Amino acid sequence: MSQPTNFTPGPSQLYFTVEDHMRTAFREGIPSLSHRTKKFEGIYKDAVDGLRELLNLPAGYSIYFTGSANEIWERIIQNLVAEQSFHLVNGSFSKRFYEIAQLLNKKPIKAEVDFGKGFDDTAIVPAGTELIGITHNETSSGVCLPLEYIYALREKNPDALLAVDAVSSLPFPDFDYTKLDTVFFSVQKGFGLPAGLGVWMVNEKCIAKADQLLSKGISIGSFHGIPSLHSHAIKNQTPETPNVLFIYLLGKVVQDFIRRGIQNIRRETEYKSTLLYQALEKHSGVKAFVQDKKFQSKTVIVAQCGDQTEKITASLKEKGLHPGDGYGAFKKSQLRFANFPTHSKEQYELLVDTLERL
């Protein structure tokens, strides 16, 4: 049997070109390359320029690298909030963003709906809110918020910064970045890379806000504060010794995505998600956990399997198809299926075919 397919939503299946890129990296001495060299600056620039092209990022956006998306939650709160942030909470990760603001001694406020739900009416953002934190795609529950919902929040609250967690959706969503202020992801999900690198994109309003906090004497962190990240980024550099190897791999995979065509990737993602949701709809025992179609994630699809969970997992694994467990309390009653660029149409067809026979 060929290698199993990993449908866990992160770390997920590697993008199929990564092992080759790793071999090339060793041949070229990338793993021991000093970051204070022209060669590293070229690697940095390739990754950043590639992301700009792939995501159609407007001028004025800067891209920084961190150790994880967890770190970006922290840096966003430190750098962009003096006192009050507002969080739309509808699952474990959006809740964690809110909790991190508490741990940093800010005064976050939340609007919360049940796990597995989205938001219908535009949330009422409290006065004094400096930043709205929103999770585009809840990896825990498979709820994805419509882009129009997110844009409406920005339009109604032009004075607050809008921070979008796109950890498990990018590169799929075709964001209009002019309607957002900061967006972030980690590379072990849609980009199919090993875990250990967060990617943080900020616009000029974010840079100005961090400067403003600093001028008020508020600590915005140290080496990974925006001013420090930014003064290095404009020279294709990093404040600390970075994960040179993973930045190199990211640049390579982004080039692979560009060659494949972002529109093709998006179309295939749509196709594969439609296949799986249709199969869940027709299935007698298994259902989509998110029933409201407008909130159904196309990149993390959650199946409500109840007491069949263990049996279904075993049957899928027999075919080399490894689903992700349900999150937290749903570990034994749900399964999660990542639908990332690395997951081929053929793998999804086999997955659906196998599910239909159960």
Q: Which stretches of the chain bind its own copies, using CB under 8 A?
A: 3, 6, 8, 10-14, 18-19, 22, 26, 29, 31-36, 66-71, 73-74, 77, 99-100, 103-105, 186, 188, 193-197, 217, 219, 221-225, 239-246, 324-325
Our CB check for its own copies shows the closer of 123 and 250 to be 250
Q: How far is the CB of 202 from its own copies (least distance, A)?
A: 18
Our CB check for its own copies shows the closer of 14 and 312 to be 14
Q: How far is the CB of 307 from its own copies (least distance, A)?
A: 22
Q: How far is the CB of 29 from its own copies (least distance, A)?
A: 8
Our CB check for its own copies shows the closer of 223 and 345 to be 223
Our CB check for its own copies shows the closer of 18 and 47 to be 18
Asked if residue 69 lies in contact with residue 198, where contact means CB atoms within 8 angstroms, the answer is yes
Q: How far is the CB of 36 from its own copies (least distance, A)?
A: 8
Our CB check for its own copies shows the closer of 70 and 344 to be 70
Q: How far is the CB of 356 from its own copies (least distance, A)?
A: 26
Q: How far is the CB of 291 from its own copies (least distance, A)?
A: 27
Our CB check for its own copies shows the closer of 28 and 353 to be 28
Our CB check for its own copies shows the closer of 118 and 324 to be 324
Q: How far is the CB of 122 from its own copies (least distance, A)?
A: 28
